[in-house]
Amino acid sequence: MRELRNKVVVITGAGSGIGRALALQFAKSGSITALTDINGITLRETVEMVEDLGGISKGFVHDISIESEVKILAREVQDTFGGADVLINNAGLTVRRACFQDSAPENFDLMMDVNFYGPVYCTRAFLPQLSAKPEAHIANVTSIFSMMGVTERIAYCSSKFALRGFTETLRLDLGKTHIGVTSVIPGAISTNITQNSKGWKDAKAKESAVNESARLAITTPEYAAQRIIKAVLKNKPRIIIGRDAWWMDKLARFFPTGYLALVNFSIRQLERKRKRIQEEEIATRKIAV
């Protein structure tokens, strides 16, 4: 795209994290933002933050995993702003860590519904609007886990592998049109995705996962948003965000089978570290008592 001023940008998952950072930075570029999230409270906060910057924005509370709601969203954007110029499929969800044999079937359904079918539904619903504009773009936020399998992340990895395949094939299908498509592959970003994850039976296990995620998240949502916007402007087919994602991408490319052993070794090291931290916390509590 040549410019973003006065372009209507639809962003899913805009209530926090990368979605919120995108909304603010698109607003600074003069874009009009149509924001959606399942959480109406945090979505309203984002809209207010955009308005505080002098931007034009409106929030639409919808569950993008339900196709009928996505169709309503598309009609609302058409009626309110005259249609979308840019679609950012950012909304995503994860569930508690579990190997396949311990994964609940409903967790697989949830991951595919939100992480894969949500972007598919949004793309299908907004494609007529994007086609009607002189220039348009779609960016789908996948994950470094769309490039490599990681133990205890089977439902999440499956949904993100599917989304990356969809995105890259979509770019080919739309290759002769004016609609650009970008696959966004971030590493660990400091968002609340783990905090919002589902399926945990043990509150302490979830707390431990949240703390670990916070330690590993070395990239800010603001930086990720900057990279995504540049990719939209330059019509990049794929971008890797974060040093961790860069190294993991290279690992998967140069060692397409060998990386499995390296990843498993790293996971075992993390498990030992996690266990040691838990034991230290227990010992500290006993001393305090």
pLDDT above 70 (res 283): no
71 Ramachandran zone, left/alpha/beta (phi>0; psi -120 to 50):
alpha
Q: Are strands 8-12 and 56-61 parallel, antiparallel or unpaired?
A: unpaired
Residue 192 token pair = 């609340």
Place of tokens 């650009």: 180
CATH 3.40.50.720 assigned to 8-254: yes
Query: Using one digit for the tens of pLDDT, what is the confidence trace for 140-193?
Result: 999 988 888 887 888 999 999 999 999 999 999 999 999 999 999 998 776 444
Delimit the domains of the chain by residue range. 8-254, 257-289
Query: Using one digit for the tens of pLDDT, what is the confidence trace for 24-42?
Result: 999 999 999 999 999 999 9
- Residues in a beta bridge with 185: 240
Q: How many helices (H) and strands (E) does the chain have?
A: 10, 7
Q: How far is CA 258 from CA 90, 197, 244, in A?
A: 31, 30, 18
Residue 235 token pair = 């019509």
Q: How far apart are CA 50 and CA 54, in angstroms?
A: 7
Pinpoint the alpha helices (H) of 29-88.
40-52, 67-81
pTM of the entire predicted model: 0.82
pLDDT for 148: 83
Is 223 designated active site? Answer: no
CA-based radius of gyration for the chain: 20
Question: Among the options 117, 121, 156, 259, which is catalytic?
Answer: 156
- Residues in a beta bridge with 141: 184
Query: Using one digit for the tens of pLDDT, what is the confidence trace for 188-213?
Result: 776 444 344 445 355 454 344 444 44
Cα 219 from chain centroid (whole Å): 14
